[in-house]
Amino acid sequence: MFGWNGRILHVNLNKEKAVADKYDSKIAKNFLGGRGFAAKILWDELKPGIDPLSPENRLVFAAGPLTGFALPSSGKMVVAAKSPLTWGYGDGNIGTYASVQMRKAGYDAVVIEGKAKNPMVSLIRNESADFFDAKDLWGLGTFETERRLAELYGRTAGVLCIGQAGENLVKYALIVSQEGRAGGRPGIGAVMGSKNLKAVVFIGSNELPAAHPKEMKDLGEEAYREVLAKPNYVFWKRQGTMSTIEWSQENSVLPTRNYREGVFEKASSIGGFVMEKMKVSNKGCPQCNMTCGNIVKDSDRKESELDYENVAMLGANIGLGNLKSVAALNRIADEYGLDTISLGNVLGFAMEASEKGLIKESIPWGKFKATKTLVSDIAYRKGYLGNLLADGVYSASQEIGNGSDRWAMHVKGLETSAYDCHTTPAMALAFGTCSIGAHHKDAWVISWEVKTGREGYTAEKVDKVIELQRIRGGIFECLTVCRFPWVELGFELEWYPKFLYAATGVEMSWETLNMIGDRVFNLIRSFWVREFGGKWSAEMDVPPARWFEEPLTKGPLKGKRLDRFKYDNMLKTYYQKRGWDERGIPTGSTLLKLGLEDVARELGGRVKISL
């Protein structure tokens, strides 16, 4: 095989042993890599119903066939497991040297099972895996952990690590790398913590096997030049994702005070232009010449990396209008290894619960010091509230009751990303049907929807959501390359089959690539259904009640809300187009068409599936 290494490393922490398994070229062609491999491994290796925080869960690190080659924005990987937050399929995409080093060590994926007796670091190199005591690192934040590991293994080693949140099994703890790249929103860091695994270090030195090395080199050089020449490049380097704050405010979709509103009165104080004045440098993922990480000095005079989601959720959504303070909360979240989206969401929920007198603690909107203390309580699961919020917004709403489930902002247990959907039905559908819960990664349809008309619940919108789920949630997640060159600069999609051919020697049309996207999407859906069995229903794909029940009270779209009847009809159309039944379960013939016969057989043994 070219492009792919053809090997997956299986690590057993109980035995402190690792075995490299070869895999078939059919697997490579059918699932590509990244999310495709992760979904296949979790489907094949997990017994349904296991506790995600038990040693039986698998922690998967998976790269794609382009990872590690000199191609634009190709230094990313997928981290995945059964999620402790949702109890369904969970993954995240992280930019890190670990992706490149893992591939150069000779592996396309690493699968970790079992649980170490004591805190441990695993070092994975060409042909070897070693295990070291990590007692000295346990209890440290991610930045200090990485600093110490860099002293031992050098700054070019690829490190994936967890902070205190992962150690304390906070259900939205994620994995951090390079002081500010973070991935695995649905609690993948907690899965790592449950295995007593503080960090994995990757060091590799093999040449990656390209099918057409000369073509690969030429294509790579041309592609990097093309990225630099894109008209939006200069502005992107200035602001990265931060300009979305102003865009969201203008379009009434900036989540404000627990998604009650889509406009924030202090938006201009936390937007891209204010950030530019504070900015000290740019940072980015390996292999990328777009380096979109905005480094600023926060209110503690430390460096923090700002992105739209972080600022919207830890700013507008909790009523905090000072960017330096927002940056401090963001940095603390990185150090603890807490997902900023879920964190901003649970904080907004707690502030609303406090305002309504449903909890005895006083957590006012937008007060930095009180919020900072609460963030620390969450990371350490300290006190009633810290512990309650550490389990996520769905669980907290179940505990405090009093109708709070109507404004607990999640889908399938994963907190909503930073887009208010009172007025954007297609984005609501994208959240409703995303493969990990309410994340924007599979189908960020909102900018298209705002441009083309936000009122309708049309079949055209359903088509657009599916198209994006194929490209973003499918191809980009399986290749594990960053989607920003395409989304933000208009770097053409046609480049990717060419890259794939140069790397692997395999020619794939867009039709084939879309088929792979659908195969992986349906496999993940089957994973969810296998887990939930008879409890699965279309209700799982419905976004939070607040967007249907409480109209916006501010801004140009005051009075607007989603229509539940029309949403349900749009969802039905979505199911039909996907080849799923009225419960949102893939039919037997859909699975067969995608070559998932074994999945159809097993799923059919658990729930009644239609032909």
* Smallest separation, CB 185 to ligand PTT (Å): 4
Question: Within 10 Å of residue 102's Cβ, how many Cβ atoms?
Answer: 29
Going by C-alpha positions, the residue among 437, 383, 425 that lies closest to residue 564 is 425
Q: Of the two residues 334 and 518, which places its CB atom closer to ligand PTT in the complex?
A: 334
Distance CA 87, CA 533 (A): 12
Select the residue interacting with ligand SF4 from 78, 409, 482, 552 (CB under 6 A): 482
Examine residue 290 and tell whether it contacts ligand SF4 (CB under 6 A): yes
Site for ligand SF4 in 194-253 (CB under 6 A): none
Site for ligand PTT in 30-89 (CB under 6 A): 76
Select the residue interacting with ligand PTT from 84, 88, 183, 255 (CB under 6 A): 183
Write each residue from 356 to 385 as x if it is in contact with ligand PTT (CB under 6 A), else as -, in one continuous string: ------------------------------
Residue 209 DSSP label: -
* Smallest separation, CB 85 to ligand SF4 (Å): 23
Q: Of the two residues 292 and 465, which places its CB atom closer to ligand SF4 in the complex?
A: 292
Query: Count H helices, E strands: the chain?
Result: 27, 17
* Smallest separation, CB 17 to ligand PTT (Å): 29
Examine residue 341 and tell whether it contacts ligand PTT (CB under 6 A): yes
Q: Of the two residues 288 and 393, which places its CB atom closer to ligand SF4 in the complex?
A: 288
Examine residue 34 and tell whether it contacts ligand SF4 (CB under 6 A): no
Q: Distance of CA 303 to CAs 292, 462, 572, Å?
A: 15, 41, 47
> Under DSSP, is residue 307 helix (H, G, I), strand (E, B) or coil?
coil
Examine residue 422 and tell whether it contacts ligand PTT (CB under 6 A): no
Select the residue interacting with ligand SF4 from 57, 73, 239, 416 (CB under 6 A): 73
The partner in contact with residue 307, picked from ligand PTT, ligand SF4, none with C-beta cut-offs of 5 to 8 angstroms by kind, is ligand PTT
The partner in contact with residue 179, picked from ligand PTT, ligand SF4, none with C-beta cut-offs of 5 to 8 angstroms by kind, is none
The partner in contact with residue 288, picked from ligand PTT, ligand SF4, none with C-beta cut-offs of 5 to 8 angstroms by kind, is ligand SF4
Q: Which residue has the tokens 């893939």?
A: 586
Write each residue from 270 to 289 as x if it is in contact with ligand SF4 (CB under 6 A), else as -, in one continuous string: --------------xx--x-
The partner in contact with residue 119, picked from ligand SF4, ligand PTT, none with C-beta cut-offs of 5 to 8 angstroms by kind, is none
Q: Of the two residues 33 and 588, which places its CB atom closer to ligand PTT in the complex?
A: 33
Distance CA 16, CA 129 (A): 9
Residues near 442 by beta carbon (within 8 Å), at least 6 away in sequence = 430, 433, 434, 435, 468, 469, 472, 473
Examine residue 443 and tell whether it contacts ligand SF4 (CB under 6 A): no
* Smallest separation, CB 349 to ligand SF4 (Å): 28
Q: Of the two residues 122 and 287, which places its CB atom closer to ligand PTT in the complex?
A: 287
Question: Which helix (H) or strand (E) covers residue 94, if one does?
Answer: strand 89-95
Examine residue 333 and tell whether it contacts ligand PTT (CB under 6 A): yes
Examine residue 482 and tell whether it contacts ligand PTT (CB under 6 A): yes
Show the 3-state SS of 354-388: HHCCCCCCCCCCCCHHHHHHHHHHHHHCCHHHHHH
Q: Of the two residues 11 and 227, which places its CB atom closer to ligand SF4 in the complex?
A: 227
**Angle of the 495-504 helix axis to the 510-532 helix axis, nearest 10:** 90
Examine residue 27 and tell whether it contacts ligand SF4 (CB under 6 A): no
Residues near 183 by beta carbon (within 8 Å), at least 6 away in sequence = 78, 79, 92, 93, 94, 96, 174, 175, 177
Which amino acid would we find at residue 147? Answer: R
Examine residue 241 and tell whether it contacts ligand PTT (CB under 6 A): yes
Look up residue 190 and give its two tokens. Answer: 């907690």
Q: What is the CA radius of gyration of the chain?
A: 22
What are the b/e assignments for 153-173, b being 16+ CB within 10 Å? beeebbbbbbbbbbbbbbbbb
* Smallest separation, CB 489 to ligand PTT (Å): 12
* Smallest separation, CB 75 to ligand SF4 (Å): 6
Examine residue 70 and tell whether it contacts ligand SF4 (CB under 6 A): no
Nearest residue to ligand PTT on Cβ basis: 92
Look up residue 342 and give its two tokens. Answer: 């879920």
Contact 423, 446 (CB under 8 A): no
Distance CA 378, CA 165 (A): 8
Task: Count CA within 13 A, CB hemisphere, residue 10.
Answer: 13
Contact 539, 95 (CB under 8 A): no
Residues that bind ligand PTT in the complex, under the rule CB under 6 A = 76, 92-95, 174, 180-185, 241, 285, 305, 307-310, 333-334, 338-341, 441, 476-477, 482-484
Residues that bind ligand SF4 in the complex, under the rule CB under 6 A = 73, 95, 284-285, 288, 290-293, 482, 484
